[in-house]
Copies of this chain bind each other. A is one copy, B any other.
Amino acid sequence: MADEAPFQFLHSEVIEYIYKSADSGEAENGRNITKLENMGLRVGQGLIERLTKDTARFKDELDIMKFICKDFWTCVFKKQIDNLRTNHQGIYVLQDNKFRLLSHLSAGKQYLEHAPKYLAFTCGLVRGALSNLGVKSIVTAEVSIMPACKFQVMIQKS
């Protein structure tokens, strides 16, 4: 039994609930994505606070990103990010080859259009975690072949 199952099932129910209680249509879909993203944001803030309680200070931005890819990802998804790339100018790409919140969807192309609603929460999760570590960012996600997916983090210099 996978340890993260209660979290996965609850995550699916939240999406279901938000979409069910809203009208359909493009504008509404955007609002639902925002709701999920905001929920993720707050969960990310809470989690990172608890996770870093006894951690030494991070030495730089890359150090923070590595923590997100390893400790933070493992806490939520029971696996690490498979690949982290950066252009060393504030853009990071986190690739998860088997993203848990997509793995229950079939791999067929017809499901690709549903992917955004399964990624919004996690985009917020990463943004929330980073923000609590003092790093302002924009996080987006893309799927090419399910259940692999990439999260792009653009650091916002203030």
In the complex, what residues of B have CB within 8 A of residue A75's CB?
1, 3, 5-6
Flag the segment in A38-46, A105-113, A132-140 that touches B: A38-46
B13 close to A43 (CB less than 8 A): yes
Question: Which residue in B5, B11, B21, B50 is a CB contact (below 8 Å) of A10?
Answer: B11
Number of copies: 2
B47 touches A5 (CB 8 A): yes
Looking at the assembled complex, report how far the CB atom of A14 sits from the nearest CB atom of chain B, in whole angstroms. Answer: 6
Contact in complex: B43, A6 (CB < 8 Å): yes
Interface residues on chain A, number (Cβ under 8 Å)? 25
- Given B1, B9, B47, which contacts A46 in the complex, CB threshold below 8 Å? B9
- Assess the A35–B10 pair: CB atoms within 8 A: no
Q: In the complex the two chains form, is A13's CB within 8 Å of B42's CB? A: yes
Q: Looking across the interface, which residue of chain B has its beta carbon closest to that of A121?
A: B10
Inter-chain CA distance A17–B32, complex, in Å, is 12
The reply on A145 being an interface residue by CB < 8 A is: no
